[in-house]
Chains A and B, each alone.
Chain A
């Protein structure tokens, strides 16, 4: 009883330490962590955009479920509170965006900034049309608004510029705010980077608080989407999945252990090395990387099922009359070899260059070592000296399994057949869609897509990027490239930074093209003929042209006083190291190949097709994983050869390779697309399979009793593993599902192969 109390005390201490560690260690959910080091400039650009591009700071919000007038009121109230919080560089909800001061600056620069300020607009017929338009506006009820600009800007250069800015949103306005299908929409950009999970969560909290403070009527709903939400949702889903699976598997594994060992103490015995391993893994990964990826934790939790093996092997392998310490000492060489080989298989992942994969490798390796050491040194003193009762296996089953080595021939033929079939089918299909790997739940991604569509910010598929030593160079290059691509006719429109802030050169050209005041005055006089305007009515217009000539051009250095222009420009133009980067976003691509060709003709222009490029990155990632897996396999072979000699090592390697072959063949037959998570799960599976093979073939000279005990221990291991991983396969989170399915299928194959390829015993022939 004292030992049980001690065991439970140690477990309680570990649980407390784990809860503490989860608070201290930062958890992240950045899928870019699972992409390899980029090899091409396109890939480097893509990775950078995924990690810290403008899209990662974008938050979208929708408010629905109330009459339009209420939604508009809430939208305005929320937007105001968001602006006041200072956490956002841009808040837009469709209401008037340009402040008075900024409007004055932009108005003064209208002829330099507006695409409508062409020499034709100042010709006499155009002026006549403009004056008639002004007159019409003055007759209307909106006369006060018209009067505000019309006499200084009858050609409408300023309003045309604002319209062009708003043009890309294409969102309907109702009650003064954006409203689509009974949903008020807001778009915001956080000041904090998309990588800063904490600030992102804070920004989302700010929106929710602002919404609550706006006193929404009952039935109203707030929807928020963006990386901040993604991180939170991903963590929540993984946590919920893991909580459900761990509860269910605890019940099932508990029931099985109770049946097999008839003692509730066995649960605590199994839990101990797992707790030590997981805690060590969490702390070590947290210390090395500064944070732990949510997927690495999900993966680490799944290790619970694998580390189960060590205590089970210890308890079940006890020979009659042996104390647990003696058993531990006796099986230690095998256990050590199993753990060392498993770690050897995982360590190459550390060098793989994917931060995410390196984390998985370190997490698993640390966990395995921790669990093995706990089994050897911590557990035996806590066990009763007489050991634990082990229910013997049903005799028929044991007999059948122990006779399997006699059927070795057909099994080898079967393996060869499967290998040929898989090769003929073109191998397993690879996952090329990054979204499928994301731990973000499907409904959240669907909402994001819907909100993006409604706001008119569709997912950018193709981006053209260029670099220049300075901002002026980048703007000029953007103008030239956009003009060239539009002339090529391959795209319907191109969004680029010079649309908002033309280069100094373009601004100068536009100003220089303005006719002089005397000429304009003369044309105006003619255009006025027959209209009721007084002679001096348009003096502000004539003065404005002369003022425009004297103003210095606007440059990115002036953006501090121009928040709206800055917000429009920032996603498209930015300083990057020593140079400046401009982005061009084509829309309505008519012919991708022609666009590629046209882009290739522009020196230094990078065309990044996000979908294709991500696919290529993932392919590269999988290749890398395979390469490092191969290195790991070699290391394992060397270790096994050293531990078991050449024949023994090869025998175990064959059973492992066969298990992996069968696993991927079955996954392919199930229609699974193989992703990075399947591969890492396969590495883990290799570790488990090796345990089975090692313990099943400790030596050919063992007695049948010993062999039966070894078989019994391996069966216990397999059943507990299946009970945990079988449930994981039912999870929706891709990482958990992939891991669960792979290990479930693999463990069953590995067990059967371990039995079949075990050394033949005298008398079993």
Chain B
């Protein structure tokens, strides 16, 4: 289970833990603190560099582009090179556009149970929505609210077959790296905040 609040509740004394828990909930919980900071950011833009490592390839594929987040639910990933692509999640709708290939697809997240956890891993984190995040992932926190790390493991077996874990890192209210480990290989996205 999640180890958040571990610093205040030593695992060796469960009985005392039960007594202390109401107090602990009032104490500054670092996950809650991070989530509160993320939730406070209504809009943010960043550039990104993503490296994908696939087992069938002998070197990583690199792509660059822009990210933008607008609360409560709009996340856009616009790849500029090597091939332009728009990946947009807003509400329940996911849109994927690849103008060079003439591809434009929309799909409803409700109908894609294997995609939803991957979308919510990023979106619920950016929104500071811990409840939604925990609906789809087992969440493990480490670090401090100033420099944090979240380890997400999908709860659904089907989603876990494709993606085994996602590691998010950030400073204060900004998420700066996303690392995904899947059966398809590994990918690492590094974001740099734009003014």
Contacts and interface: CB of A to CB of B under 8 A. Distances in A.
B106 interface: yes
A139 B63 contact: yes
A537 B83 contact: no
Interface in A112-167: 135-136, 138-144, 147, 151
Contacts of A72: 108, 111
A131 to B, nearest CB: 11
A139 B60 CA distance: 10
A69 interface: yes
B120 interface: no
Contacts of A135: 61
A69 B110 CA distance: 10
B137 interface: no
A209 interface: no
A95 B184 contact: no
Contact of A141 (B92, B96, B108, B162): B96
B57 A532 contact: yes
A76 B107 CA distance: 13
A503 to B, nearest CB: 34
B106 A141 contact: no
A139 B82 contact: yes
A140 B85 contact: yes
A143 B93 contact: no
Interface string B134-150: 00000000000000000
A174 interface: yes
Contacts of A142: 96
A499 to B, nearest CB: 24
Given A136-B101, A141-B77, A175-B93, A537 B57 contact: yes
A534 B58 CA distance: 6
A176 interface: yes
Contacts of A151: 56
Given A139-B52, A175-B93, A532 B61 contact: yes
Interface string B36-69: 0000000000000000101111110101000000
Contact of A533 (B58, B63, B107): B58
Nearest to A531: B57
A142 B98 CA distance: 10
Given A69-B93, A534-B58, A139 B83 contact: yes
Nearest to A148: B184
Contact of A139 (B61, B92, B105, B184): B61
A237 to B, nearest CB: 39
Nearest to A136: B83
B114 to A, nearest CB: 9
A171 to B, nearest CB: 14
Contact of B83 (A76, A140, A174, A175): A140
A140 B184 contact: no
Given A141-B85, A147-B184, A533 B93 contact: no
B8 interface: no
Interface string B69-104: 000000001010011010100011100101001000
Contacts of B56: 151, 533-534, 537
Contacts of B52: 138-139, 143
Nearest to A536: B56
Interface in A58-109: 69, 72-73, 76, 95
A72 B92 CA distance: 12
B67 to A, nearest CB: 13
A534 B185 CA distance: 14
A176 B93 CA distance: 10
B55 to A, nearest CB: 8
A95 B110 CA distance: 13
Given A141-B87, A147-B184, A174 B58 contact: no
Contact of A69 (B57, B63, B87, B92): B92
A531 to B, nearest CB: 9
A536 to B, nearest CB: 8
A175 B106 contact: yes
A534 B83 contact: no
A626 B47 CA distance: 84
B85 A95 contact: no
Given A174-B106, A532-B57, A76 B111 contact: yes
Nearest to B61: A139
Contacts of B58: 532-534
Interface in B147-188: 162, 182, 184
A138 B85 contact: no
Contacts of B182: 144
A469 B153 CA distance: 59
A592 B140 CA distance: 71
A83 to B, nearest CB: 15
Contacts of A147: 54, 184
A72 B63 CA distance: 34
A532 B83 CA distance: 17
Nearest to B118: A144
A176 B108 contact: yes
A507 B68 CA distance: 50
A140 B184 CA distance: 13
Interface in A536-588: 537
A176 B101 contact: no
Contacts of A141: 77, 79, 85, 87, 96
Given A139-B52, A144-B184, A95 B101 contact: no
A614 B56 CA distance: 61
Nearest to A76: B111
Contacts of A76: 111
Nearest to A142: B96
B54 to A, nearest CB: 6
A175 B94 CA distance: 9
A73 B93 CA distance: 12
Contact of B108 (A69, A138, A532): A69
Contacts of A144: 162, 182, 184
A573 to B, nearest CB: 32
- Among A73, A176, A532, the most chain B Cβ lie within 10 Å of the Cβ of A176
A147 B182 CA distance: 12
A458 to B, nearest CB: 26
B63 A176 contact: no
A537 B54 CA distance: 10
B189 to A, nearest CB: 11
B50 to A, nearest CB: 9
Contacts of B83: 136, 139-140
Contacts of A173: 105-106
Contact of A73 (B54, B87, B106, B110): B110
B184 A143 contact: yes
B111 to A, nearest CB: 5
Given A139-B82, A532-B59, 10 more contacts: A69-B93, A69-B108, A73-B108, A135-B61, A140-B79, A141-B85, A142-B96, A175-B93, A533-B57, A534-B57
19 contacts: A69-B93, A72-B111, A138-B54, A138-B57, A139-B52, A139-B61, A140-B83, A140-B85, A141-B77, A141-B79, A142-B96, A143-B54, A143-B184, A147-B184, A174-B106, A175-B93, A176-B107, A176-B111, A532-B57
4 cross-chain pairs, A with B, having the tightest CB-CB distances, nearest first: A537-B56, A141-B87, A532-B57, A175-B108
Interface of A: 69, 72-73, 76, 95, 135-136, 138-144, 147, 151, 173-176, 532-534, 537
